[in-house]
C-alpha cells in the first residue's frame, strides 16, 4: 500500500508543479503573458492543428480499419502490416523525411498531413481490435430489421466500437499536444515548441510556465471531451456464447481503386520518409559515417531504455497488485492517479522535474536519475496497462492450492505466480524500453550535458539542417521501433486474449 | 492400501469479517468418510473450509486433524504442513503446467522421477482419466476433466483430509452427476476424510455419508442423509432440504387441525405447530373425490419425468401447497382439483423455547 502511494504521488508531481508555479505567478503577470499577440498565435495554431490532425487521423484510421477487417480487400494482412508500420517511424523522423524532400509542407496543411500520417495508427489499431472482436450477429439483426450496409455501419457498428475509436482519437490529440520535433522541423509553432523556445531564451521563465499551464488545460479539455462523448451508456455484449467471425462486405469492382488508395497512403506515410532517409544515407556516406557517435548514442539509449523499462514495470507492479487483489476506494484512487501523467506532454513533465530538482535537490539537476524518473512518470501508464491483466492470470486461489500441496508462500510465488506473470512483465519492460528509446522532448530538457541518445544526436544534426549526418541515427531509431510496432500490430488482430500454451 | 482414517474435529470455531460474524461457535465432528456442508450462499460454509485449510485464522475455537491441533492452540499450523488436499471451485489448475505436472506438483520427489510418474498414473486411473491426458494442458480439458485433475492433484500427496469447495457448481447438469460420482469413487478408494461444501441438496444427500446443514454461521443439523430428510431438526431444515411448505395448525393428540383439515402428525406436543408438507406428500385427485380438499391449480412446472403443481387451498385462509405429480396426469392451470395430504406430516412447535 505504501509503495503504491509513493508511486502515485510521484506520478502526480508534474501536475502539482503546474498548479503551484501558476499560483506563484500572480494574476497581473499572468494576464500580461496571456494577452501577448505571440501567445494568441500559439493557442490558435495548437487548436487548429488539433482539430485538423484528429479529424484526418479519424478518417484514415477508421476507414482503413473497416476496409481491412470488414471487406474482402485482397492481401488484407499485408495492408494491415503497412498500416501499422508508421508507428515505427518516430514523428520527428517523419517530419525530417518530408522537410528534407520538399519545403511545401511548412504550412498548416503540411503540418496536419505529416502529423496525421504519423499518428493515424493510434486510431487504426484500437478500431481494428474492436471491429474484429465485434459480434457480427448485431449486424445480422440490424440487417433483419431492414438496415442497409451504410445505415447499419452508422447505427450499429460505429456506436459499438466508438469507445475504441474515441480512445484512439484522444491518444492522437494528446500526442499532437506533446509533439515537438516534427512541428519544429516543419516550422509550425505550437504551445509545445513555444515552451521549448521560452525555456531556451529565459531558462525556466514565467512565460514557459504559463504556456505549460495552458497546455495542461488543453489536455484536460481533451480528456473531458472524451469522457463526455463516451457518456454513461453501457456497451457490454449482452449474453455469452461464441461471437462468430463476421461476413465480409464485397468490394467488387471497387477493389482495385481501394487498393490504390491504400497504396497511396503507404507511399505518403512510409515511402516519403524512407526514400528520403535512404537518399541521405547514400549521400551522407560520401562524407563520413559517425560510427563512434552512433555507437556511443546507441549504448546510452539502450542503457536508459532498459533501466526505465525495468523501473516503470517495477513501479507498476505494486499498483496493479493492489488493484487486482485488494479492491477499495483508496486503491482505485491510487490506480487512477497514474493516468493523468500519461496525458501530460513530455515537455511539461520535463519542465516540472527540472524546476523541482533545481529548487529542492540542486545536486540532482541534470543527472541520470532525474532523467530516468522522468521516463518512468511518462511511461508508467503504458507499463500499468500491461501489468494488470498479467497479474490477473495468477489469481490468489492458485497460491492457496500450492500452499495446500506443501509449498511455502515464497515457493508458491516461485513455482506458480512467477512463471505465469514473467512473460507479461517482460513484454511490459520491452514496450516501455522501446518508447523510451525514441523519446525526444523530455530527453532534450533532462539529459545531463554530454549524455546523448540516438534521438538527441539525430535532433542536433537534423535541426542544424545536416540531413545527411542525421540519417544513420534516424535509421537506428526506426530499427529500434520495429519490434514494438510488430507486437502492437499482432495484438490488435489476435482474437483471443489468452496466451497460446 | 489401508491406512488409519484421520478424523476432523472442529469446536467452538468463530470467525468475523469486520462487524459480520460469519461463523458463530461452530462444532463439527467428522470421524471419516465424506461429509457435505450444505447451505445457501453466504451462510459461512466456504469460510469454514478455508479455516480448516489454514488460509484463514479463526478468532476463537480449535481445529484438530487426527491427534494434531492445527489451529487454536499456539501458533496455527501453516496450510502446507496440515496434510490437506484442497479442490477449489472450477479446479484452479495451474495454467502453465500440463496435467502430469499439475498432479505431481505436491509430490516431494522430483517431478520427473519414476516414483512421481507412477503416482501420476495411479491418480489418473483413480479419477478415471485416460493416461494419455497426462501431457494435455488445462485449457484443452473440459470442465469435468479439469475437476478430476484438480482432485487427482489434491490426492496425490496422500493428504489426511480433502476439502472440496463447490467442486461441481460450474459444471452443467449432466456432467455434474457423472463427475460427482467419479469423484466420490476416487475419494472412497483413497480412504481420505473428505469435506464437501455445496449449496445443492441433491448433491449433498446423494454423495455424502454425513450432511451438515448450515445457515447464518451455525449448523442447524448434522446427521446422515436419510435422517436429515426424514427427521429434520427444525422447520428451517425441513423447508430447505426437501422443499417442504410450512403451514401453521393446531395440534392435539397426534392430529393437527387447520386449513388442511385434520391431518395425522408426528413430532410435536399439543399446541400451535408448523406443519412441514413435502411435495411428495400431496396427492392431486379429481375434484370432489371423497376425503379431499378442493384446490385451484395456480402454476404448473413440467419436467418430463414428472411435474410440480402449485395448488391453492381454502377460501379465506388461503394456503399454497406444492405437489409432485406424474407426467401423465398433469392438471391445467386454473382448474379445480382435489388435494389430499398422504401419511403422517412432520410438525414443529410454532414458538420453540
Note whether residue B37 is domain-resident: yes
Q: Give the CATH number, domain containing residue A400.
A: 1.10.3720.10
User: Is residue B2 in a domain?
Assistant: no
Give residues with Cβ within 8 angstroms of B326, minimum separation 6. B306, B307
Chain A contact probe: residue of B47, B53, B80, B87 with most A CBs at under 10 A:
B80
Interface test with A, best of B92, B93, B140 (most A CBs within 10 A): B92
Between chains, do B88 and A420 touch, taking CB under 8 Å as contact? no
Query: How many helices and strands (H and E) does chain B possess?
Result: 8, 20
Query: For B108, which residue in chain A has the nearest alpha carbon?
Result: A406
Interchain CB distance below 8 Å, A406 and B106: yes
Q: For position A242, what pLDDT does the model report? A: 46
Please check whether residue B155 lies inside any domain of the structure: yes
**Beta carbons of B157 and A406 less than 8 Å apart:** yes
Same domain, B41 and B184: yes
Closest listed residue to residue A10, CA positions, set A215, A316, A214, A269: A316
Which residues on A lie below 8 Å from B154 (Cβ)? 404-405
Q: Is A397 in Cβ contact with B80 (below 8 Å)?
A: no
Task: Let me know if A199 is exposed, middle or buried by CB neighbors in 10 A (0-12, 13-18, 19+).
Answer: buried
Can you tell me the distance from the alpha carbon of A29 to that of A473, in angstroms, rounded to the nearest whole number? Answer: 42
Q: Are residues B80 and B178 in the same domain?
A: yes
CB-based contact B80 A407, cutoff 8 Å: yes
Residue A330: which residues within 8 A CB-CB, separation 6 or more? A1
Distance CA A369, CA A347 (A): 17
Select from B183, B201, B235 the last residue of a domain.
B235
Q: Model-level pTM greater than 0.80?
A: no
As a whole number of angstroms, the distance between CA A117 and CA A114 comes to 5
Residue (of A75, A73, A98, A101) closest to A86 by Cα position: A98
User: What's the gap in Å between the CA of B26 and the closest CA on chain A?
Assistant: 23
Closest C-alpha to A67, from A219, A246, A259, A300:
A259
A405, A411, A424: best to mutate for the B interface, most B CBs within 10 A = A405
- Chain A nearest C-alpha distance from B242 (Å): 32
Instruction: Return the bridge partners of B38, or none.
Output: B198, B213
In B44-77, which positions are buried (b, 16+ CB within 10 angstroms) versus exposed (e)? bbbbbbbbbbbbbebeebebbbbeeebbbeeebb
Q: Is A432 domain-assigned? A: yes
The pLDDT value recorded for residue A118 is 92
Q: Do residues B120 and B203 share a domain?
A: yes
Separation CA B295–CA A309 (nearest Å): 76
**Does residue A392 belong to any structural domain of this protein?**
yes
Which of these three, B235, B256, B278, is where a domain ends? B235
Q: Is the pLDDT of residue B223 over 80?
A: yes
Q: Which residue has cell 474492436?
A: A130
Domain encompassing residue A117: 36-231+265-286+485-501
Cell of B18: 469486520
Same domain, B70 and B152: yes
Residue bearing cell 485488494: A326
CATH code for the domain of B116 = 3.40.50.300
The reply to whether A189 falls in a domain is: yes
Sign of CA dihedral B191, B195, B200, B202: positive
Chain A nearest CA to B32, separation (Å): 20
Q: Do A61 and A133 lie in a common domain?
A: yes
Write the residue in B92, B108, B154 that is nearest to A398 by C-beta: B92
Dist. CA A143–CA B43, nearest whole Å: 49
Query: H helices within chain B, ranges in order?
Result: 45-53, 99-104, 114-126, 143-155, 173-190, 201-207, 225-230, 235-240
Q: Where does the pLDDT of residue B353 fall: very low under 50, low under 70, confident under 90, or very high at 90 and above?
A: very low
CA distance A161 to A164: 6
Whether B287 and B337 have beta carbons less than 8 Å apart is answered as yes
B122 lies in which domain range? 8-235
Same domain membership, residue A428 and residue A345: yes
- For B52, nearest residue in chain A (alpha carbons): A404
pLDDT tens for chain A, 501 residues long, are 677 777 777 777 777 877 777 777 777 777 777 777 788 888 899 999 999 999 999 999 999 998 888 888 888 888 998 898 888 888 999 998 898 888 888 889 999 999 999 999 989 988 888 887 776 666 667 767 766 667 777 777 887 788 888 888 888 998 898 888 888 888 898 888 888 888 777 665 677 878 888 888 888 888 888 777 766 554 544 444 444 556 677 787 888 888 999 999 999 988 888 998 888 888 765 455 667 788 888 888 889 999 999 998 888 888 888 877 776 777 777 776 766 666 678 888 888 888 888 887 777 777 888 889 889 888 887 787 778 778 877 888 888 899 888 888 888 888 888 888 888 888 888 888 888 888 888 888 888 888 888 888 888 888 888 888 888 888 888 888 888 788 777 776 664 333 332
Q: Which residues of A touch B55 (CB under 8 A)?
A: 400, 403
In a domain, A22, yes or no: no
d(CA A338, CA A346) in angstroms, rounded, equals 15
Tens of pLDDT along B129-164? Answer: 999 999 999 888 888 899 899 999 999 988 999 999
Q: Largest alpha-carbon pair distance within chain A?
A: 73
Q: Which residues pair with B264 in a beta bridge?
A: B255
Does residue B19 sit in the same domain as residue B97?
Answer: yes
Partners of B82 on chain A (C-beta within 8 Å) are 404
Amino acid at each position: 500500500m505504501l509503495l503504491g502511494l509513493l508511486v502515485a504521488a510521484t506520478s502526480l508531481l508534474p501536475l502539482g508543479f503546474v498548479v503551484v508555479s501558476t499560483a506563484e505567478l500572480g494574476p497581473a503577470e499572468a494576464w500580461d503573458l496571456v494577452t501577448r499577440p505571440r501567445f494568441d498565435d500559439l493557442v490558435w495554431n495548437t487548436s487548429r492543428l488539433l482539430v485538423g490532425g484528429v479529424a484526418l487521423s479519424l478518417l484514415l484510421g477508421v476507414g482503413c480499419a473497416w476496409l481491412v477487417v470488414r471487406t474482402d480487400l485482397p492481401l488484407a494482412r499485408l495492408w494491415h502490416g503497412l498500416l501499422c508500420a508508421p508507428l515505427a517511424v518516430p514523428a520527428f523522423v517523419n517530419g525530417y523525411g518530408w522537410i528534407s524532400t520538399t519545403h511545401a509542407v511548412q504550412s498548416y496543411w503540411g503540418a496536419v498531413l505529416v502529423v496525421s500520417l504519423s499518428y493515424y495508427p493510434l486510431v487504426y489499431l484500437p478500431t481494428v481490435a474492436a471491429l474484429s472482436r465485434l459480434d457480427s450477429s448485431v449486424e445480422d439483426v440490424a440487417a433483419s430489421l431492414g438496415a442497409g450496409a451504410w445505415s447499419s455501419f452508422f447505427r450499429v457498428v460505429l456506436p459499438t466500437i466508438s469507445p475504441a475509436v474515441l480512445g484512439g482519437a484522444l491518444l492522437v490529440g494528446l500526442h499532437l499536444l506533446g509533439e515537438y520535433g516534427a512541428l519544429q522541423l516543419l516550422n509550425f509553432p505550437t504551445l509545445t515548441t513555444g515552451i521549448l523556445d521560452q525555456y531556451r531564451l529565459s531558462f525556466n521563465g514565467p512565460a514557459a510556465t504559463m504556456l505549460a499551464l495552458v497546455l495542461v488545460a488543453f489536455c484536460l479539455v481533451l480528456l473531458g471531451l472524451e469522457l463526455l462523448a463516451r457518456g454513461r451508456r453501457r456497451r457490454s455484449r449482452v449474453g455469452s456464447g461464441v461471437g462468430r467471425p463476421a461476413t465480409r462486405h464485397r468490394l467488387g469492382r471497387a477493389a482495385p481503386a481501394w487498393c490504390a488508395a491504400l497504396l497511396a497512403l503507404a507511399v505518403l506515410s512510409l515511402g516519403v520518409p524512407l526514400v528520403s532517409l535512404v537518399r541521405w544515407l547514400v549521400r551522407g556516406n560520401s562524407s563520413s559515417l559517425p560510427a563512434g557517435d552512433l555507437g556511443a548514442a546507441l549504448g546510452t539509449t539502450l542503457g536508459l531504455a532498459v533501466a526505465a523499462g525495468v523501473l516503470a514495470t517495477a513501479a507498476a507492479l505494486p499498483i496493479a497488485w493492489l488493484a487486482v487483489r485488494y479492491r477499495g476506494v483508496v486503491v482505485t484512487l491510487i490506480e487512477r492517479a497514474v493516468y493523468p501523467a500519461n496525458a501530460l506532454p513530455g515537455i511539461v513533465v520535463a519542465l516540472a522535474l527540472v524546476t523541482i530538482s533545481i529548487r529542492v535537490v540542486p545536486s540532482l539537476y541534470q543527472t541520470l536519475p532525474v532523467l530516468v524518473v522522468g521516463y518512468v512518470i511518462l511511461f508508467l501508464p503504458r507499463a500499468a496497462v500491461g501489468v494488470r491483466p498479467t497479474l490477473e492470470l495468477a489469481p490468489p486461489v492458485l497460491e492457496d492450492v500450492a500452499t495446500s500441496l506443501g509449498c511455502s508462500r515464497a515457493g508458491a510465488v516461485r513455482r506458480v505466480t512467477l512463471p505465469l506473470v514473467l512473460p507479461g512483465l517482460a513484454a511490459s519492460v520491452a514496450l516501455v524500453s522501446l518508447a523510451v528509446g525514441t523519446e525526444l522532448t523530455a530527453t532534450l530538457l533532462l539529459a545531463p550535458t554530454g549524455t546523448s541518445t540516438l534521438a538527441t544526436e539525430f535532433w542536433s544534426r537534423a535541426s542544424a539542417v545536416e540531413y545527411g549526418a542525421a540519417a544513420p541515427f534516424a535509421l537506428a531509431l526506426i530499427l529500434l521501433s520495429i519490434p514494438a510496432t510488430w507486437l502492437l500490430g499482432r495484438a490488435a488482430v489476435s482474437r483471443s486474449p489468452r496466451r497460446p500454451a | 492400501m489401508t491406512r488409519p482414517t484421520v478424523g476432523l474435529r472442529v469446536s467452538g470455531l468463530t470467525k468475523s469479517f469486520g462487524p459480520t460474524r460469519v461463523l458463530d461457535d461452530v462444532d463439527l465432528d467428522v470421524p471419516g468418510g465424506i461429509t457435505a456442508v450444505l447451505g445457501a450462499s453466504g451462510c459461512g460454509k466456504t469460510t469454514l473450509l478455508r479455516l480448516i485449510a489454514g488460509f484463514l485464522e479463526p478468532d476463537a475455537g480449535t481445529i484438530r486433524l487426527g491427534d494434531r491441533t492445527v489451529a487454536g492452540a499456539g501458533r496455527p499450523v501453516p496450510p502446507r504442513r496440515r496434510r490437506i488436499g484442497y479442490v477449489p471451485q472450477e479446479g484452479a489448475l495451474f495454467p502453465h503446467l500440463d496435467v502430469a505436472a499439475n498432479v505431481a506438483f505436491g509430490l516431494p520427489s522430483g517431478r520427473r522421477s519414476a516414483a512421481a510418474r507412477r503416482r501420476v498414473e495411479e491418480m489418473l486411473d483413480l479419477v478415471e482419466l485416460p493416461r494419455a491426458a497426462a501431457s494435455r494442458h488445462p485449457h484443452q480439458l473440459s470442465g469435468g476433466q479439469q475437476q478430476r485433475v484438480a482432485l487427482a492433484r489434491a490426492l496425490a500427496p496422500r493428504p489426511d483430509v480433502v476439502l472440496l469447495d463447490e467442486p461441481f457448481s460450474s459444471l452443467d447438469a449432466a456432467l455434474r452427476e457423472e463427475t460427482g460420482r467419479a469423484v466420490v469413487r476416487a475419494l472412497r478408494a483413497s480412504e481420505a476424510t473428505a469435506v464437501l461444501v455445496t449449496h445443492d441438496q441433491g448433491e449433498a444427500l446423494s454423495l455424502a455419508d454425513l450432511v451438515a446443514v448450515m445457515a447464518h454461521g451455525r449448523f442447524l443439523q448434522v446427521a446422515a442423509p436419510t435422517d436429515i430428510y426424514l427427521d429434520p431438526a427444525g422447520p428451517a431444515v425441513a423447508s430447505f432440504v426437501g422443499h417442504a411448505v410450512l403451514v401453521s395448525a393446531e395440534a392435539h393428540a397426534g392430529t393437527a387441525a387447520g386449513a388442511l383439515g385434520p391431518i395425522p402428525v408426528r413430532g410435536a406436543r399439543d399446541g400451535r405447530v408448523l406443519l412441514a408438507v413435502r411435495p411428495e406428500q400431496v396427492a392431486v385427485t379429481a375434484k370432489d373425490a371423497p376425503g379431499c380438499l378442493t384446490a385451484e391449480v395456480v402454476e404448473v412446472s413440467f419436467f418430463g419425468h414428472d411435474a410440480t403443481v402449485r395448488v391453492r387451498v381454502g377460501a379465506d385462509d388461503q394456503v399454497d401447497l406444492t405437489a409432485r405429480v406424474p407426467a401423465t396426469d398433469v392438471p391445467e392451470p386454473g382448474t379445480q382439483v382435489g388435494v389430499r395430504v398422504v401419511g403422517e406430516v412432520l410438525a414443529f412447535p410454532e414458538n420453540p423455547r
